[in-house]
Amino acid sequence: MTEDEEMTSSDSADDRREIVDRYFAAEPSARERSRMQLYVFGGVAAILVGVIASIAGSWVFGVFAVVGGGFAVGRGLPLFEAYRAAQEAASPKPRDAIIDKIRDHELGKVRRRALDRLDLTTEDLELDPVDWDPLAEPGLGARPREPLVVTGPVPASDVVVGRDGVWRFSQYAVLVICPTDYHLGLYRCVIDLRVAGLFQEETHEYHYTDVVAVSTAIRKGGRIAARVVDADESAFRFESVLLHEFRLVVSSGDSSTIVFGISDERRPDHRAELPATGIDNVVRAVRSMLRDKKGTAAGPEISPR
């Protein structure tokens, strides 16, 4: 088994969790290192000075120096242990490609699971071939009669900017759209890179006439501080996050949403670079499909991006 295969094996649950945890763990900062060294080395130096001073006859000063040094070392040793533990937990950092393979491995389960939960087969689907598929094997081109898949990060999960500048999250939401001749099946779940399995599963089935809007929208989402691989500080901070969402809304008011972009309200041109989400293909395909099913005049709202 190659290194990459071992990293993505669901049977190696402990190894997989350790790999992902190391990737997303924070490196001890330079400030933490300096504080630890100040207490430990400063304390040891004070003890040595105190001992020398006592031998030289300045025993009062020597006693104070030894006591102060001992206090500093006592404070510094727990800091040293914490620093070493944090360093061991965060290094060596796995390669970005390893994390991408783990993500792709989990995404590969989603399409099969969606069809199973919706009690469908690929023969039930009514969908034209598409130009791009986030789950297709590289170089194979379009895969006809497959569900549409769009995926995006869970903003509240851990986030790290890789060596290639791509923002990687520990959790991703996935929306699978399964159009048939008579209805639209939706499957939504969350994948967690730390553990195998699909979480927060939802299935919905709608008549095409129930779909009232297919849109992309922007909403505020708090703040995000993304750590950078091989750096000891958070170099990317979005103080006022804007979440770009794909939404499919039905007549009851319910909606299925996926985040496909993240930007900073204070710097509109500053946008997180995310792994491929499939959003462009999904919006185009869903627009075409619903217009065919409902007719152009009665079709759902398609908001611009």
pLDDT in tens, 91-122: 888 999 999 999 998 988 898 899 999 999 88
Range of the domain at 78: 30-90
Number of domains in the chain: 2
Sheet holding 267-271, edge to edge: 267-271, 255-264, 241-250, 211-220, 301-302
Instruction: Say if 13 falls within a structural domain.
Output: no
Q: Average pLDDT over the chain, rounded to whole?
A: 80
147 domain residue, yes or no:
yes
Query: Average pLDDT for residues 220-237, to the nearest whole number?
Result: 73
**What is the tens place of the pLDDT at every residue in 136-187?**
544 444 455 688 899 999 998 999 999 888 999 999 999 999 998 888 999 9
Q: Are residues 73 and 105 in the same domain?
A: no
| Domain shared by 85 and 105, yes or no | no
Same domain, 64 and 195: no
Question: Same domain, yes or no, for 45 and 150?
Answer: no
Residue 226 has pLDDT above 70, yes or no: yes
The answer to whether residue 12 is domain-embedded is no
- Segment 13-33, tens digit of pLDDT: 778 888 999 998 877 766 777
pLDDT at residue 6 tops 50: no
Least confident of 57-71, 135-149, 236-250: 135-149
* Angle (CA) 72 76 78, round 5°: 135
**227, part of any domain:** yes
Helices marked H in the chain — which ranges? 3-8, 13-24, 30-55, 59-90, 96-117, 279-294
Asked if 170 and 277 sit in the same domain, the reply is yes
